[in-house]
Amino acid sequence: MLKTISIYLSENPTLRYWIVRPEWVAVILLIISIISSIQLSPFFADLAFIMDSATPYVEYGLIAIILTLIIISGEIDLSIASMIALTAVIFGTAYNAGLGMPISMLIALFSGTLCGLFNGILVTQLQIPSIILTIGTLTLYRGIAQSLASDFSLGGYPSWFIGIDYRYIGIVPIPVIIFTVFAIVVGFFLSSTIYGKQLYLIGTNPQTAKYSGIKVNRIKLLLFTLSGLVCGIAGVLTTSRLAVARFNMATGAELEIVLMVMLGGTYIFGGRGNIFGTFVAFWIVVILRAGLNVARIKIESQLTILGAMLIIAIILTNYIYSKSQK
């Protein structure tokens, strides 16, 4: 039975293209988590509750979208959480130095961009594997944030700035709107433009990409820089949500963000994956986290469950890719 299906699929590449896709794993996991959450508490049938639960994760979600592009192109950026903290701390420091809100924000975004550019230059020019290099800058950026802010919480922002997670359009919190629009735009870019196509080619075989005239290094540099910029945006959003900036914000968040990307079916060795998967995986994490909170499972134990899910996702993704590769 399975064999006939797989033969049938290999003879119909277009059909296979639509069916043998790891993001279906994410969709199934999402449905399972919704159903089991509703069993836990009727709140989960309420869209507004789910939306509200999503706001704390939007910053991670935004970065997960960019990280999806980076992983598809065969690299990884683990310094993302540190860049959130560093840009937030720079933002707080600038504002407290009296630079005013618009300029402080610009400085935060600019410093994030610079951090990303630095990652990109080292990865592409020195040919250092990004997994090693960004573990280095993970420590470096967090360290700079700590020396800037020590153990102080940088606060004192105007009230219009604080609490972006409590602003709504209809029942939808503004951060969720930002995330959704961003996902749609990047998803469209990745699936329909030549630049998106080239990311897949680079991730599949960087050598062939180079020999095909694709500007591999320039594109990777751009991706890392973009990652820094989005981390800057996330840093400002987080500060708005928490009303303070601290050096230890988003500690360990890089793993949760990688989890979103991988849960969404993006292949860790590059060349495959998409934004839809990451988008679905974002909601899995949101519902799971909220559900575990409702079920009064301690934060410490929640990590165990997320870790187990990640491993399942990796195994299934790899299995599906090995099948589609025949």
Partner 1 sequence: MQLKTNNIGKTFSGVNVLRNVDFDLKPGEVHALVGENGAGKSTFVKILSGVYTPTEGKIFLDEKKVNITSPIVAQKNGVSLIHQEPQSFSHLSVAENIFMGHMEGNNFSRVKWQDINNKSNEILESIGLKIDPKIIMEGLSIADQQMIEIAGALSKNSKVLIMDEPTSPLTPNEVGKLFDIVNKLKSNGMAIIFISHRLEEIRQISDRVTIFRDGDLITTKNINEVSNEEIIKFMIGRNIEEIEVKENQFIKNDEYILNVKNLSLSKKFKDISFNLKKGEILGFAGLVGAGRTEVAKSIFGAEKFDEGEIIYNGESIINNSPNEAINNGFAYVPEDRKQMGIFGPVAVEDNITSAIPKDISNHIGLINSKTVSKMTNDYINKFNIILTSGRQLIEELSGGNQQKCIISKWLLSKPKVLILDEPTRGVDVGVKSEMYEIINKLAEEGTAIILISSELPEILSLSHRIIVMREGKITKILNNKEATQEKIMSYAIN
320 binds partner 1 (CB under 8 A): no
| By CB under 8 A, residue 201 contacts partner 1 | yes
Size of the site for partner 1 (CB under 8 A): 31
Cβ distance to partner 1 smaller for residue 13 or 158: 13
Q: Does 304 bind partner 1 (CB under 8 A)?
A: no
Could you say whether residue 187 binds partner 1 (CB under 8 A)? no
Rule CB under 8 A: say whether 3 interacts with partner 1: no
The tokens 């504002």 sit on which residue? 95
Please list, in sequence order, all residues whose beta carbon lies within 8 angstroms of the beta carbon of residue 194, skipping any fewer than 6 positions away.
Answer: none
* Secondary structure of residue 321 in the 3-state scheme: helix
Cα–Cα distance, 207 to 94 (Å, whole number)? 44
Candidate list 7, 31, 147, 197; residue touching partner 1; CB under 8 A: 197
CB of 74 to partner 1, least distance (A): 12
* Sole binder of partner 1 in the list 102, 158, 170, 213 (CB under 8 A): 213
Based on its alpha-carbon atoms, the radius of gyration of the chain, rounded to whole angstroms, reads 20
| Residue 222: closest CA among 58, 64, 75 | 75
Which C-beta is closer to partner 1: that of 168 or that of 321?
321
Distances (CA, A) of 237 to 22, 109, 230, 241: 31, 11, 10, 6
Q: Which residue has the tokens 């929640």?
A: 302
Are residues 325 and 318 in contact, defined by beta-carbon separation less than 8 angstroms? no
**Site of tokens 């992983």:** 71
Q: Which of 54, 58, 63 is nearest to 81 (CA)?
A: 63
Specify the residue, 3 or 298, whose C-beta has the smaller distance to partner 1. Answer: 3
Q: Per CB under 8 A, does 269 bind partner 1? A: no
The 6-25 site mask, x for binding partner 1 (CB under 8 A), equals ----xxxxx--x--------
Smallest distance from the beta carbon of 267 to partner 1, in angstroms?
A: 10
Please state the closest distance from residue 21 (CB atom) to partner 1, in A. 13
The pair phi, psi for residue 154, each rounded to 5°, is: -90, 110
Interface with partner 1 by CB under 8 A: which residues?
10-14, 17, 192-195, 197-198, 200-201, 204-205, 207-215, 271-272, 321, 324-326
